[in-house]
Amino acid sequence: MIHLQNICKRFRRPDGGWFDAVCDTSLSIAAGEVFGLIGFSGAGKSTLLRLINLLERPDSGAVIVAGQDLTALDAKALRRARQQLGMVFQQFNLMANRTVAGNIAFPLEIAGWSAADIASRVAECLEIVGLTDRAGHYPAQLSGGQKQRVGIARALAPRPKVILADEPTSALDPKTTQSILDCLKDINQRFGVTVVIVTHEMHVVRSICHRAAVLDAGRVVEVVEVNGAEVDARSALARSLLEAA
Amino acid sequence: MEELTFAAALADLASMAPEIWQACRETALMLAVGLAAAITLGGPLGIVLYLSQPGQLFANRWVHGLLGWTVNLVRSFPFIILMVSLVPLTRLIVGSTIGPVAAAVPLSFAAIPYFARLVEQTLREIPRGVVEAAEAMGASPLQIIVKVLLNEARSGLISSLTILTISFLSYSAVAGVVGGGGIGDLAIRYGYYRFQTDVMVAMVLLLVLIVQIIQFVGNRLAARLDKR
Ligand SMILES: Nc1ncnc2c1ncn2[C@@H]1O[C@H](COP(=O)(O)OP(=O)(O)O)[C@@H](O)[C@H]1O
Ligand SMILES: [Mg+2]
């Protein structure tokens, strides 16, 4: 579903030099998989995730999603491709002046759906994340967990093939974290949506991922398999992340 | 000068009612033209200023720098000097340099960069992540401007417009003195040149009342639109 081929991404440092946030990284993520990107802060997890929908454009390498090389698309085609890639954020990034239903409707309006189709799809998505009774509320009136459910419903609304989630539970307490992870897992299982999730916590990997890439200094150190809740790790870094959990 | 009694002052003002009404209409006209120019030209300019700044959707150092410099240039003119410097332009556009329509030219000229800065500043308060979420969903630049930026900033934009209106009520008084007419002009002509203090006081009270009303309406509207 997602193939990153020899991706490099560098940023300008304040001193004028270059900083390699992601270097020469290749990764393949299968359709229907829940794939984790794990590593310590600054390892390049968010950058790698944002390379998948080209929020960051790679300096070299190819980003192939559903058979399409996104780096080769023009602006309009890229926007259409992005409608197939939902995104969920740590800070939710909901629109404060739109209701819950309005936020979920947004990607559908962007994609040009009819009002009737939008209404029924919004109702479906509210049902899936269990927020039907909050449709008319504004984000300011919701708890963190509820806001993230809206974020997930919004990402899911256009029936994407992939959902990219950047530390979706890092702003939440442990109990809410589990319910959000269950929600993502449920969506993956029921609709076959491929989920790529960034986290710095091994327990997130344990609880929902099938596989995870361990990142350090912009490189993939190891791709670990998760069997049940067992993580089969070889690298020292992966082991230290396991111990930290 | 005769002794001024309250009753005499009221009678005096009553006799001037048509002139006062005329002054109000002139002020309203100056404000309407200035604000219309500010919204239609200053608004988009403010959006461009915002979008061209570093880290934004159309980050462009040169566009941002040039526009910012031009805005500062116009804004650094004291209004009275701007008015005088624009006399040739005013004559060209309106065909005259007297009257509220003529005064509206320099008013618009000052209002455009002023409002552009207010818009730029208001848009900056929107979290970058919200705009990024829209980008990630495949929104076009126009959709981002209309559906995200303007909608998320709507309450702040109303507050900005309130500030602009009140500032320009006072600018319009200056413009009035130099031939524009309006409430400020009336106050100066009668109160200052003819020593009719009652007229001056009445006009100032009228301005106070108008400012209070504008601010009240602006605050109410801004609060109602704000769901944050
Ligand atoms: N837009 C940017 N400009 C400059 N440096 C950046 C930018 N984005 C990320 N970085 C740097 O790249 C590195 C990796 O960042 P990130 O991918 O956010 O790490 P993680 O999500 O793993 O904590 C960090 O050192 C960060 O400072
Ligand atoms: Mg991060």
Q: What is the pLDDT along chain A (245 residues), one digit of tens a residue?
A: 999 999 999 998 888 889 999 989 999 999 999 999 999 999 999 999 999 999 999 999 999 999 999 999 999 999 999 999 999 999 999 999 999 999 999 999 999 999 999 999 999 999 999 999 999 999 999 999 999 999 999 999 999 999 999 999 998 999 999 999 999 999 999 999 999 999 998 889 989 999 999 999 899 999 998 887 777 777 878 777 777 65
Q: Which residues of B touch A87 (CB under 8 A)?
A: 133, 136-137
- Domain extent listing, chain B: 6-225
Contact A107 B127 (CB under 8 A): no
Kindly state which CATH superfamily the domain B6-225 is placed in: MetI-like (1.10.3720.10)
pLDDT class of B63 with cuts at 50, 70, 90? very high
Chain A, 96 to 125: residues with Cβ < 8 Å from chain B are: 96-98, 106-107, 109-111
Question: Residues A143, A147, A148, A153: what is their CA dihedral angle, to the nearest 10 degrees?
Answer: 140
- Angle at which helix B17-37 crosses helix B100-124, to 10 degrees, equals 50
Determine contact, residues B149/B47, Cβ cutoff 8 Å: yes
Task: Enter the DSSP assignment of A72.
Answer: G
**Closest C-alpha to B197, from B182, B210, B207, B187:** B187
CA-CA distance, B188 to B193, in Å (whole number)? 7
Give the residue carrying structure tokens 């006209």: B29
- Domain extent listing, chain A: 95-158
Give the residue carrying structure tokens 């320009």: B168
Given the DSSP bridges, would you call strands A194-199 and A162-166 parallel, antiparallel or unpaired?
Answer: parallel
Q: Which residues of A touch B136 (CB under 8 A)?
A: 53, 55, 82, 85, 87, 164
Count of other CB atoms within 10 angstroms of residue A87: 28
Residue B1 has pLDDT above 50, yes or no: no
CA-CA distance, A58 to A45, in Å (whole number)? 14
What phi, psi does A29 have (nearest 5°)? -120, 125
pLDDT class of B4 with cuts at 50, 70, 90? low
Model-level ipTM above the cut of 0.90: yes
Could you tell me where the DSSP H helices lie in chain A?
45-52, 75-82, 100-110, 115-128, 144-156, 174-191, 202-208, 236-244
- Reported as a single tens digit per residue, the pLDDT across B138-191 is 999 999 999 999 999 999 999 999 999 999 998 888 887 777 788 888 888 887
What phi, psi does A149 have (nearest 5°)? -65, -40
